[in-house]
Amino acid sequence: MTHWITPDWPVPANIHSATTLRTGGVSQGEFSSLNLAGHVNDLCHHVLENRQRIKSMLALPADPVWLQQTHSVQVVCADQMMGSAEADASYTAKNNIVCTVLTADCLPLLLCDEQGTQIAAIHGGWRGLLNGIIENTLLKMPNTGVLAWLGPAIGPQCFEVGDDVRTAFINKSAQFASAFKDHSQGKYLADIYQIARILLNYAGVAQIYGGQYCTVSATDQFFSYRRDGQTGRMATMIWMT
């Protein structure tokens, strides 16, 4: 039994990526079992053991570069970080650097160029997507021909938002109307995958893969903050060799 998803996208052979599932770790209760986040009140030694396990399971070339994610539009260079930085995306052009984001409903998004010389990992909540986290990250990747993979996030049948969220996106571009469906009084169902595709297309990225999961409905596979409140986090990682 594997405890991760291997992204299905046509990247060069030196590009490696994975999203962990919630299985295969030592955490207990609501964090059962492969919680990788240190900020959710799980036991510290469980998190450290889980992080060690994914390093072995995935044969990672180095420890993942962990971020302090705050739904910002901050992007950092993963190979220049000292300690943990407050940011919601990281990028690198160096081998054996593991760009990593943690999620439990937000959209994990991986980028690489066709030549296999640049990579990035993005944490995309709706605020970050609205405010420009994808665009900011792409600015750090000067090569054209970028591929994107959309990892496990809250699905379009489960992501209820208010009119304020819908209006904010439509004020950005009328194109976003297609990503929202009427649901109930003043509430809409948002398609975070569709939002990301529109943003990527607008930024010139045409090769987009993934985007078929729902963290809320696949209880056995994924942590979900929307479903459970107190819960763990999955990691989505990309590295070059």
What's the average model confidence in pLDDT over 29-55? 98
Does 109 score more than 90 pLDDT? yes
- Residue 83 burial (C-beta neighbours within 10 Å; 0-12, 13-18, 19+): exposed
Q: Is the pTM of this model over 0.85?
A: yes
Distance CA(145)–CA(5), nearest Å, equals 24
What's the domain count of the chain? 1
Cα–Cα distances (Å) from 193 to 2, 14, 20, 54, 103, in that order, read: 25, 26, 19, 26, 14
What's the average model confidence in pLDDT over 130-145? 94
| Location of structure tokens 């297609």 | 178
| Location of structure tokens 């994990």 | 108
In a domain, 219, yes or no: yes
In a domain, 233, yes or no: yes
Position 12 scores a pLDDT of 97
In a domain, 163, yes or no: no
Query: What CATH number has the domain bearing residue 49?
Result: 3.60.140.10
In a domain, 181, yes or no: no
Geometric angle at alpha carbon 149, from 143 and 150, rounded to 5°: 135
Tell me: the pLDDT tens digits for 143-179? 789 999 999 999 999 999 999 999 999 999 999 999 9
Q: Which helix (H) or strand (E) holds 22?
A: none
In a domain, 179, yes or no: no
Position 193 scores a pLDDT of 98
Which residue range is the domain that position 103 belongs to? 13-153+204-240
In a domain, 209, yes or no: yes
Position 82 scores a pLDDT of 83
Position 143 scores a pLDDT of 76
